Each structure stands twice: as structure tokens, then as C-alpha cells.
Amino acid sequence: MKSLKELFDRITQRVNINLRELKFDVNPFVKDLVPFHQLVKFYAFYGITPHHPLDFQFRHSNLAGSYFLGKCCTTNSILYKSDIRGDELKKKGDTCEFQGFKIPVSRDEAIRIEDSFLIKTLVHNFSHDPETLENFFIRNTVSTHYANIHGSPTDGSYLGPFATVDLTTMNDCVIGAFSYVQAGEISHLHIEPGTVWVRSPNNFNFLYRYPLNKLSHYIHFTAGAPPQGLLIDFVEDRKEAFQRVFETMNIDPSVTIPNNASLDRFAVIKPKTHISDNVLVAQRAFLQNSWMGKGANAQENCYIINSRLEGFNVTAHGAKIIEADLGQNVFVGFNSFLRGRPDCRLSIGKESIIMPHTIIDVKEPLSIPPGHLVWGLVTSPADLENNSIELKELTKISEGFSRGNMFFEGNGSSFVTAFRDRIHHILEANGALYDGVKNKGHAQKNQNISFNTIQPYPEGDLKGLYPTIIIRP
């Protein structure tokens, strides 16, 4: 295991060099966070479909428990139970528009991970940096439990647990636990835990910060200790349910799946769950006693329990919905935590947008009216007043406003339009709009996926490392 330990040291040293200006040392946060013996226990696996290029390269890396789809290259890296999902990468001949420029894609895009340590991290979407159209890179980066790197080329950075970087090129930054950043391009910034920041230069700027004393109940992370809090406990309490799907070769679905829907082989579906047409359930999703209406989806690391989604619902990566009823076209953002109780359910009206990294945790019935934007920490009707706005009202704002711990500046109509356009794109990409002929998406294209496993060296100095593997047609 000597080579594996040397690889770990190489990665942390390179990340620390990049973060020297911020005086941030990643080593105390990740040392012993994943014991080395854990990195030998699990196989890695990759998916093959007729719709995605078969092009994988693994060099001098550990890939324990990780999943790969599409064109991926991993070098000098440790990926522990991470999902590298390249099913939305750009293809040769595509054209990307940016500030009036139409830029042709010269070759198929690839996800390239180098000198990085990703722990239970999701990598998805495609590079939104016009300078790197064909290269979605993650270099010199450490990310911790249930972080999301979504369409965000990243170099020399650190992401805390449940952090998300979305459609943002990031260089030499620290993103604190449970922070969400969608800001186009950032460099040399230290984002404090519990920050939700959505910026479109010259259009709008949305900023919310959680009270840290309240956020710590849900997630906190300090050097020398594992992540702690309700969010981690919630996931850990259900991890045994995933052991069977990863240990068993062939598993028959426990529910009926329509021909135009997709239930991933590595998802957990508990009894009394209904899957409607055009539904997508991604790997590592968990559904129990829930109704998934037409075109709804549950993305990676989502949990939907004792809930009803009427249809065309987007449950983004890492979101959790418990004891709740959602109308049609409700969007629930990354890593949000929505929890009602059996005797006091949470109800969310149609066409509402729940911002990424929102916590709604109620002990009395709460009903969110249709067409509202909700953010931050909501535990009561009074909190909802300070953490929501009707979308129609927001579209009338032309300069800015503040409410509770949230500050908004810029054009509210542009903000709402950008969200709605993105929601439509997600539904389209996931196959929610498939009519039997047109608009096939992931729910249809991922039905006939097959999986192959790969294993590390079991003994000796190379124990834990995977041999160099190049897989092509």
C-alpha cells in the first residue's frame, strides 16, 4: 500500500500549493477521513450504452466504489464511491454560444480528473467554460462527502461536505460545507459554510447565508473529525439498503417500470413506490413508499420517502424529500432537505422553485403556495415569510431587495427566466418530455446500460492502486 499512501501525499501537497494564498491546509480535513483499507474493499464499475462513447482511461489511481459513464480519464487520483457521469458531454460538431460567439466543438468532450481526491462526489454535466469546450477538467482538487461538481472545471480547490459548484469555473478556492456557488468564474475565494450564491454578471446576484449556529445541527465539519449532523446521519442510517444492490449481480425490479422510464440498477426502490411514464431514477437514489408522476426524476444521492410528486418534478442531485406532496413542475435544488412529518405534511404548490441547498424542516403542517421561490432555513410559517417570494413579484424587481438573510440585486425577471429555462432543459435532457417519437432523454437512453467491474491490486506496494487500463471500442 506504499504507492497509495504516496499518491495521497502527492495530491494533498499539490492542493495545498494552490491554496497557499488562502492559507488553507487540506491535510487535517482529509487525513484518515477514508482509511486506506477502505480503498481496497470495493470494485469500480463503468457503464456501456449505445448512446455514449466507450472511452475510459485509468492511470495510477484508486477508484474504489466509483462509477463512470461516457468519456472519462483519471490520472494520479483517488476516487472513493464517486459518480463520474459523462452522459451530457459535448460532441464533435456541436456549437456553443457565448456572448454572441458561436464556437464549434472540435472533438468529443472528456471529463479529465488529475491529481485529485474525490470522496462520494458527483461529477456531471459538461464544461461551461468557453475556453475549455472539449476538456471538463478537475485538477489538484479535494472534495468531501456528497459534494457536487456540476459543469464546473476546477483547479486547485477544496469542497467541503454537501458543497456544490455549479456551472462555474473555479481556481484556487475553498468552498465550505453546504455552500452552493453558481457564479460563472471565481478565483482565490474562501466561501464560508452555508453560503448560497447565484450570480449572472450584469444580470443578477442572489446571496444567502445560513446562521452557522443553526446550520451546525444539519452539517458541520472540523479538521480531525468526520462530517457530523443530521444530513450525514440521515444518509448513514440508510446505507445498508445499498449493500444488496452493490453485492448482488442480478436484481429484478421490485416495482413495475414503464417501457419509457428508467430505473438504475444501482438505485434502491422500497415497496409501495409507483413509477410513471418518462420517470428517471439515477444510481444511488433511494425511493420508498412514494409516487413519481409522469416525467418526474430522482437524481444521484436523492432520497424520496413517503412522498408524492405529481409530475415533471426535478429533484436535483442530493436532494431529499420526506413526508411531502409536490405539485407539478416543482423544482427542488441540489442537496436540499425537505422534511415534513407523518402528522404534519409539507405541501409545495405547482410551478414553485426550491433553491439549491434549502432546508425545510417542519413540525407543524406547512403549505407553500404555487409559483413561489423558497430559500434558506424554514422551520415554521414565520420562517417561510422571510425566506420566500412569489415568482410574479420577483419578476417585477428591477434593482434589488433583501429579505431575512437573503440579498438580491439586479433584474428579477432575468433570474426567474434563467431558472425556468434551466428547468426545461433538465426535463428535456432527462426524457421527461418524450412523446414516443421525439425528445428521448436519459430515461429512455439509459434503459439498456450494462456494467463492467474493475479491481485494484490486492497485495504488495501497489495494493489499492488500479492497473493502468485503457478501454476503447
Using one digit for the tens of pLDDT, what is the confidence trace for 38-59? Answer: 999 999 999 998 888 899 999 9
Closest CA to 71 of 46, 44, 105: 46
* 180 and 257 in a common domain: no
Q: pLDDT digits over 128-141, tens only?
A: 999 999 999 999 99
Above pLDDT 90, what percent of the chain? 92
* 85 and 52 in a common domain: yes
The yes-or-no verdict on residue 253 having pLDDT over 90 is no
| Residue 51 pLDDT | 84
Task: Count up the domains in the chain and report the number.
Answer: 2
Q: Read off the pLDDT of each residue in 149-178 and give the average, rounded to a whole number.
A: 98
Evaluate the CA torsion angle 470, 64, 464, 24 in order and state its sign.
Answer: positive
In a domain, 259, yes or no: yes
In a domain, 295, yes or no: yes
* 259 and 340 in a common domain: yes
* 256 and 187 in a common domain: no
* 283 and 264 in a common domain: yes
* 463 and 428 in a common domain: no
In a domain, 457, yes or no: yes
Q: pLDDT digits over 138-148, tens only?
A: 999 999 999 99
User: CATH number for the domain including 107?
Assistant: 2.160.10.10
Above pLDDT 70, what percent of the chain? 100
Distance of CA 366 to the CA centre of its chain: 27
Q: Give dist(CA 243, CA 223) in Å, integer.
A: 29
Q: Read off the pLDDT of each residue in 18-35 and give the average, rounded to a whole number.
A: 96
| Residue 47 pLDDT | 94
| Residue 247 pLDDT | 81
In a domain, 211, yes or no: no
State the pLDDT confidence band at 269, using cuts at 50, 70 and 90. very high
**Residue ranges of the alpha helices (H) in 156-306?**
212-215, 230-236, 240-247
Neighbours of 22 (CB within 10 A): 15
Q: Catalogue the long-range contacts made by 440-444 (C-beta closer than 8 Å, 24 or more residues apart).
A: 441/280, 442/87, 442/262, 442/280, 442/282, 443/260, 443/261, 443/262, 443/278, 443/279, 443/280, 443/297, 444/260, 444/262, 444/278
| Residue 314 pLDDT | 98
| Residue 447 pLDDT | 84
| Residue 252 pLDDT | 74
Instruction: State the chain's maximal CA–CA distance in angstroms.
Output: 66
Range of the domain at 103: 2-205+449-471
| Residue 317 pLDDT | 98
CA neighbours within 13 Å on the CB side: how many for 291?
A: 11
State the pLDDT confidence band at 210, using cuts at 50, 70 and 90. very high
Q: What is the CA radius of gyration of the chain?
A: 21
| Residue 131 pLDDT | 92
354: helix, strand or coil: strand
* 259 and 183 in a common domain: no
469 DSSP β-pair partners: 58
- Measured CA to CA in angstroms, residue 12 lies from 49, 139, 160, 422 at distances of 35, 12, 15, 35
| Residue 98 pLDDT | 82
461 DSSP β-pair partners: none
* 187 and 249 in a common domain: no
| Residue 218 pLDDT | 98
- pTM (whole model) above 0.75: yes
In a domain, 253, yes or no: yes
Q: Give dist(CA 384, CA 402) in Å, integer.
A: 14
- Measured CA to CA in angstroms, residue 433 lies from 278, 353, 372, 447 at distances of 7, 19, 23, 16
If one compares 99 and 348, the residue with the highest pLDDT of the two is 348
Cell of 147: 459534494
Q: Grid cell 485503457 — which residue?
A: 470
* 245 and 124 in a common domain: no
| Cβ atoms of 458 and 1 closer than 8 Å | no
* 64 and 14 in a common domain: yes
The yes-or-no verdict on residue 301 having pLDDT over 90 is yes
In a domain, 414, yes or no: no
State the pLDDT confidence band at 358, using cuts at 50, 70 and 90. very high
Q: Give dist(CA 191, CA 208) in Å, integer.
A: 12
Cell of 280: 428517471
Closest CA to 282 of 260, 267, 303, 261: 267
State the pLDDT confidence band at 167, using cuts at 50, 70 and 90. very high
In a domain, 218, yes or no: no
State the pLDDT confidence band at 27, using cuts at 50, 70 and 90. very high
The yes-or-no verdict on residue 254 having pLDDT over 90 is no
In a domain, 232, yes or no: no
* Secondary structure tally for the chain: helices H, strands E: 10, 49
The yes-or-no verdict on residue 251 having pLDDT over 80 is no
Cell of 109: 468532450
Q: Give dist(CA 374, CA 388) in Å, integer.
A: 4
* 182 and 34 in a common domain: yes
Residue 80 φ then ψ, to 5°:
-105, 110
* 154 and 69 in a common domain: yes
Distance of CA 59 to the CA centre of its chain: 25
